[in-house]
């Protein structure tokens, strides 16, 4: 019993040093959250355990919308090595994603041949932001929250945050690809 108490105490102390924690004192990672896919199915981030994820808030009617091409290219280049590109449609900036899930999916598929996973449309900023985006802001600070469409976060295979880039940094930039390659499973 004493060793169990010691182990529990040690575990909780370690979790306190690892970042955000659950109410049980366990360290949180991106794998603790879930979305709904653009088709309405559950999309738990835990399903990407062991893979790197490039999380990008997207919009169909934005000056950065052509980045879908770069996201698709990144997906095609690295998916067999363990990268998931996850598009998160959001109408938070300039109301540039007004469509329904069906309209967003059709737009992405027909205009940019997107076949990487997309979530349903969610908020990514503010009090009503998706819980994963609130966690990211808690972890990195409010100044690292998305400021516009096509903000990118790299999540390591263990669910930790490994990088962030503003909208103007393209998905295929050397900064992004170097960071992706650094966290890909070996």
The residues annotated with a catalytic role in the active site are 62
For CA atoms 50, 52, 57, 58, the dihedral sign is negative
Structure tokens at 10: 């040690």
Tokens read off for 139: 């972890």
- Phi then psi dihedrals of residue 109, to 5 deg: -75, -40
In angstroms, the CA 139 to CA 47 distance is 21
Across the beta sheet with 161-165, what order do the strands follow?
83-89, 52-58, 152-155, 161-165
The CA–CA distances, whole Å, from 57 to 19, 120, 128 equal 24, 11, 15
Burial class of residue 54 (count of CB atoms within 10 Å of its CB; 0-12, 13-18, 19+): buried
């Amino acid at each position: 019993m004493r060793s169990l108490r010691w182990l529990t105490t040690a575990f909780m102390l370690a979790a306190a040093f690892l970042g955000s924690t659950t109410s049980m004192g366990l360290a949180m990672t991106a794998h603790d959250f879930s979305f709904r896919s653009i088709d309405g199915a559950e999309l738990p981030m835990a399903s990407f355990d062991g893979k790197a994820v490039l999380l990008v808030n997207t919009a169909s009617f934005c000056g950065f919308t052509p980045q879908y091409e770069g996201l698709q290219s990144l997906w095609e280049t690295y998916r067999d090595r363990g990268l998931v590109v996850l598009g998160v449609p959001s109408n938070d900036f300039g109301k540039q994603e007004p469509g329904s899930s069906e309209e967003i999916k059709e737009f992405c598929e027909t205009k940019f041949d997107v076949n990487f996973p997309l979530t349903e449309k969610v908020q990514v900023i503010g009090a009503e932001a998706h819980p994963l985006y609130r966690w990211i802001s808690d972890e990195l600070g409010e100044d690292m929250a998305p400021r516009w469409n096509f903000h990118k976060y790299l999540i390591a295979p263990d669910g930790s945050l490994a990088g962030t880039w503003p909208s103007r940094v393209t998905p295929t930039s050397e900064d992004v690809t170097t960071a992706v390659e650094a966290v890909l499973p070996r």
